[in-house]
Structure 1
Amino acid sequence: MASGYLEILRARYALRLLAGTLVGRLPNATAAIAIVLFVRAEGGSYSLAGALAAVYGVANAVGQPVLGRLVDLYGQPRVQLPAAVLSGVAMAVFAWAGTGPVAVAYAAVAGAGLFTPPLEGGLRALWPSVLRKEGQVHTAYAMDAVAQEVMFTAGPLLVTLCVSLWSAQAALLVLNVAGVLGALSVVLSPPSRAWRSAPREAHWLGALRSPGLLALLGAFLFVGVALGSITVAAVPYADAHGGDAVYGWLMAALGLGALVGGAGYGARQWTGDPARRLRLLVALLAVCYLPLTLMPGTAGMVLLAALAGVFLAPAIACAFVLVDRHAPPGTVTEAFSWLVTTITVGASVGTGLTGPVVEAGGALWGFAVPGAAGTVSLLVLTATGRVLAAPAGQAVVAASSENDPNRAVEPRFSSGDRA
């Protein structure tokens, strides 16, 4: 496992791109908790804190595919860095103005979310040009998914550390400065500066004109619903079994399970149809959600939460492969950004849906929602199996390979040829 990831990281610029993207995404990963802590430090209500965090999330969901399309049109440096600066400035305005002028606070967090640069989609568009071989790109996608889990686990800890050492205002400022520096590191790298999207056919739908991509987005909307529902259903369970500490353990276990699953998935080379593999992974994901309804004691529930996360990162990593294959030429960054947005929107829907379910039926019915959502996701993938089959004309082969002394032809990853 380690050797596979080390091979990726030894590739020129790979570590810089991965680290820069993770640091650049810190403001986005920590925005919700940072906003809530800052509003409470300013004396605002939880309702205001939640509303501001929601506005940031909605603006971010809107901005990601729009900025992704601009990246495909104009390149990464001309979009990513200005967007990162604008997002950081907007959050700085929020940090300095506080919650006194409420309209300014809403406008500032909306601007920060809207201009969050699509670094995640941009990195996945760069991997094929950095790594060249399709097998390595698949491993990089899995490593990327694992790194995201680490970031979403460590990010909130960094926020609380900044708050304890300085203040909630300082946390907002420090994390957004770090985000700009991370984006700067990425866009100044030679792969980012050299990357160009393929010529694209003018179409107002952009990446969304691909039936395969629409099928993936439909399936992963419900994966997002499952994720959002667990975060709500775990609250009443934790209240009955020890409070906030138990809730923290459950969320940490969910992330740890995804981290372990993603690490294991990326440790080997996968062959065969990725669409079929994705159906299997989503089926396993749905099955592993079902035991949560047993609601055993705290230790058992933590183990079940870890199990529930095991197939999440592999499913997302496999989806990255299919997104690349189905993205129309010249829309790869936008397509990846749409997947990120869809999962985010699904999580918001799951959060809103599970609240009334928990109030009506308690934690048991709340934990039934992720299993149901995972099943619907599987049904979508099954119903669209033909659409998700490898598109005709996507198999491009290189006439020679620098890695093969016999010059045998090998499949070239589609976005690598676009790049």
Structure 2
Amino acid sequence: MAAGYLEILRARHAARLLAGTLVGRLPNATAAIAVVLFVRAEGGGYSLAGALAAVYGVANAVGQPVLGRLVDLHGQPRVQLPAALASALAMAVFAFTGLDPLPPAYVAVGAAGLFTPPLEGGLRALWPSVLRREDQVHTAYAMDAIAQEVMFTVGPLLVTLCVSLWSAGAALLVLNVLGVLGALSVVVSAPSRAWRSAPREAHWLGALRSPGLLVLLGAFLFIGMALGSITVASVPYADDHGGDAVYGWLMAALGLGALLGGSVYGARTWPGAPERRLRVLVALLAVCYLPLMLMPGAVAMVALTALAGVFLAPAIACAFVIVDRHAPSGTVTEAFSWLVTTFTVGASVGTGVAGPVVEGGGAQWGFAVPGAAGAVSLLVLVAAGRVMAAPAVHAVVAGSSENDPNRAVEPRFSSGDRA
């Protein structure tokens, strides 16, 4: 298993790009907890903290596809680094001015989310230029999904460490300085500087004119809902079975399950079309959410939560391949950014839906939400099976036309997106 990942990391620039992207995304991955801790340290309540975190999340969801399109049009260095600097500057304003007055605080947090650079989509656009074989790119997508789980585990620990050593304001500053350094490491690299998007047809919908991509985004909206609802439903369960420590173990188990599943998935090459494989993975994901409703003792519940996460990273990695196949030519960064945005919005909707469900029916009904969301995601993929079908093998692509899913060469490996 390790051999495949080591082969990827030995490729020139691969380790640097992966590490730089992860460090560059730290401010985004830790924004919610960092903002909440800062607001509490400034004397604000949880309602205000939640409102500011929500403003950041909404602005981030809006900014990612917009900045992704700009990257496709103008290249990575000219967009990623200025965006990282603008986001860090806005968060620094928030850290120095605090909560009084409130309107500038909202503006600063919103600007920080809006200008968060689309490093995640940018990295996936770079993999084909760094790794010359399609199977290596697919392994890199899986490794990317695994690294996300590690980052979302380590990130909150880093926030709490900074808060304990210095202050909540210092944590905001340190994380955003690290984010700028990570983005800088990426954009000064040779692959990032040389990368150019494939020629694109001017169209206001951009990547969203691909029917296959729209279906994928619809499915992952519900997968995001499932994940967001688990984080809410786990709170009352933990309150009845040991408190915050149990909640921490449940969240860690969810990440650990995804880490293990992604590691196994990325260690081999899978036959067949990824569209069919995604349906199987989402079906398994939905099935593994159902046992959470049993709500056994804490130890067994941690094991069930780990099981619920096993197929998450493989599904995400498979989705990366499908995005690459279905994104119209010249929109690859924007398309990946739309996937990030949709998943984030889905998680936010899931937390919003699970709250009233838990209040009305308790934790057990809260754990029914991820199973239902997973089932709807599978239904979307099955119902739109023809739309998601792989492009025809022998289709002819006109030199001046868009390389869209209905006319793209099979498989749609993004060699055209290389410099």
RMSD, aligned α-carbons: 1.4
Q: Which residue of 2 aligns with 1:244?
A: 244
**Partner Cα separation in structure 2 for residue 394 and residue 212 of structure 1:** 19
**Partner Cα separation in structure 1 for residue 83 and residue 391 of structure 2:** 33
Residues 29-58 of structure 1: per-residue CA shift (max 9 Å, x gap): 000000000010111111111100000000
**Partner Cα separation in structure 1 for residue 247 and residue 281 of structure 2:** 26
**Partner Cα separation in structure 2 for residue 375 and residue 237 of structure 1:** 23
Measured after TM superposition, the shift of residue 386 of structure 1 is: 1.0
Q: Which residue of 2 aligns with 1:285?
A: 285
Q: Which residue of 2 aligns with 1:399?
A: none
**Partner Cα separation in structure 1 for residue 223 and residue 111 of structure 2:** 27
Asked whether the 8 Å contact 2:393–2:410 carries over to 1, the reply is no
**Partner Cα separation in structure 2 for residue 101 and residue 55 of structure 1:** 16
Measured after TM superposition, the shift of residue 149 of structure 1 is: 0.2
Q: What letter matches 2:240 in structure 1?
A: A
Q: What letter matches 1:53 in structure 2?
A: A
Measured after TM superposition, the shift of residue 395 of structure 1 is: 8.1
**Partner Cα separation in structure 2 for residue 10 and residue 335 of structure 1:** 28
Asked whether the 8 Å contact 1:128–1:413 carries over to 2, the reply is no
**Partner Cα separation in structure 2 for residue 395 and residue 167 of structure 1:** 59
**Partner Cα separation in structure 1 for residue 338 and residue 391 of structure 2:** 19
Residues 4-44 of structure 1: per-residue CA shift (max 9 Å, x gap): 00000000000000000000000000000000000101111
Measured after TM superposition, the shift of residue 394 of structure 1 is: 8.8
Provide the secondary structure at the position in 2 that maps to 1:389. coil
Change (3 A) 1:239 1:298: same
Measured after TM superposition, the shift of residue 270 of structure 1 is: 1.2
Q: Which residue of 1 aligns with 2:32?
A: 32
**Partner Cα separation in structure 2 for residue 282 and residue 303 of structure 1:** 20
**Partner Cα separation in structure 2 for residue 67 and residue 394 of structure 1:** 34
Q: Which residue of 1 aligns with 2:417?
A: 418
Change (3 A) 1:395 1:262: farther
Q: Which residue of 2 aligns with 1:135?
A: 135
**Partner Cα separation in structure 2 for residue 243 and residue 373 of structure 1:** 27
Q: Which residue of 2 aligns with 1:343?
A: 343
Q: Which residue of 2 aligns with 1:222?
A: 222
Structure 1: any 5+ residue segments left out of the alignment? 397-409
Give runs of aligned pairs for residues 144-159 of structure 1, distance below 5 A. 144-159=144-159
Q: Which residue of 1 aligns with 2:83?
A: 83
Q: Which residue of 1 aligns with 2:209?
A: 209
Asked whether the 8 Å contact 2:150–2:259 carries over to 1, the reply is yes
Measured after TM superposition, the shift of residue 375 of structure 1 is: 0.4
Q: Which residue of 1 aligns with 2:402?
A: none
Asked whether the 8 Å contact 1:218–1:380 carries over to 2, the reply is yes
Q: What letter matches 2:44 in structure 1?
A: G
Q: What letter matches 1:416 in structure 2?
A: S
Asked whether the 8 Å contact 1:325–1:394 carries over to 2, the reply is no
Q: What letter matches 2:78 in structure 1?
A: R
Task: Give the TM-score of the pair, scaled to structure 1.
Answer: 0.95
Provide the secondary structure at the position in 2 that maps to 1:100. coil
**Partner Cα separation in structure 2 for residue 65 and residue 414 of structure 1:** 21
Asked whether the 8 Å contact 1:229–1:350 carries over to 2, the reply is yes
Asked whether the 8 Å contact 1:395–1:414 carries over to 2, the reply is no
Measured after TM superposition, the shift of residue 411 of structure 1 is: 7.6
Measured after TM superposition, the shift of residue 416 of structure 1 is: 2.2
Measured after TM superposition, the shift of residue 415 of structure 1 is: 1.6
Q: Which residue of 2 aligns with 1:403?
A: none
Q: Which moved more, 1:276-285 or 1:266-275?
A: 266-275
**Partner Cα separation in structure 1 for residue 165 and residue 395 of structure 2:** 54
Q: Which residue of 2 aligns with 1:407?
A: none
Give runs of aligned pairs for residues 172-183 of structure 1, distance below 5 A. 172-183=172-183
Provide the secondary structure at the position in 1 that maps to 2:232. helix
**Partner Cα separation in structure 2 for residue 6 and residue 395 of structure 1:** 36
Q: Which residue of 2 aligns with 1:352?
A: 352
Asked whether the 8 Å contact 1:133–1:413 carries over to 2, the reply is no
Provide the secondary structure at the position in 2 that maps to 1:386. coil
Q: What letter matches 1:246 in structure 2?
A: V
Residues 97-135 of structure 1: per-residue CA shift (max 9 Å, x gap): 001110010000000000000000000000011001110
**Partner Cα separation in structure 2 for residue 242 and residue 412 of structure 1:** 50
Q: Which residue of 2 aligns with 1:376?
A: 376
**Partner Cα separation in structure 1 for residue 119 and residue 197 of structure 2:** 15
**Partner Cα separation in structure 2 for residue 195 and residue 156 of structure 1:** 33
**Partner Cα separation in structure 2 for residue 6 and residue 241 of structure 1:** 41
Give runs of aligned pairs for residues 305-316 of structure 1, distance below 5 A. 305-316=305-316
Q: What letter matches 1:198 in structure 2?
A: A
Q: Which residue of 2 aligns with 1:101?
A: 101
Provide the secondary structure at the position in 1 that maps to 2:362. helix
Q: What letter matches 1:418 in structure 2?
A: D
Residues 70-89 of structure 1: per-residue CA shift (max 9 Å, x gap): 00000000000000000000
Asked whether the 8 Å contact 1:132–1:412 carries over to 2, the reply is no
**Partner Cα separation in structure 2 for residue 359 and residue 321 of structure 1:** 39
Asked whether the 8 Å contact 1:56–1:113 carries over to 2, the reply is yes
**Partner Cα separation in structure 2 for residue 203 and residue 307 of structure 1:** 42
Measured after TM superposition, the shift of residue 412 of structure 1 is: 7.1
Structure 2: any 5+ residue segments left out of the alignment? 397-408
Q: How many residues of Structure 1 are paired with residues of Structure 2 in the alignment?
A: 407
Residues 208-257 of structure 1: per-residue CA shift (max 9 Å, x gap): 00000000000000000000100110011001111111111100000000
Asked whether the 8 Å contact 1:132–1:413 carries over to 2, the reply is no
Structure 2 residue 58 is the aligned partner of structure 1 residue 68:
no
**Partner Cα separation in structure 1 for residue 393 and residue 281 of structure 2:** 26
Q: Which residue of 2 aligns with 1:257?
A: 257
Q: What letter matches 2:228 in structure 1?
A: G
Asked whether the 8 Å contact 2:197–2:417 carries over to 1, the reply is yes
Change (3 A) 1:258 1:394: farther
Provide the secondary structure at the position in 2 that maps to 1:269. coil
Asked whether the 8 Å contact 1:64–1:337 carries over to 2, the reply is yes
Provide the secondary structure at the position in 1 that maps to 2:387. helix
Asked whether the 8 Å contact 1:215–1:384 carries over to 2, the reply is yes
Q: What letter matches 1:415 in structure 2?
A: S
Measured after TM superposition, the shift of residue 392 of structure 1 is: 3.4
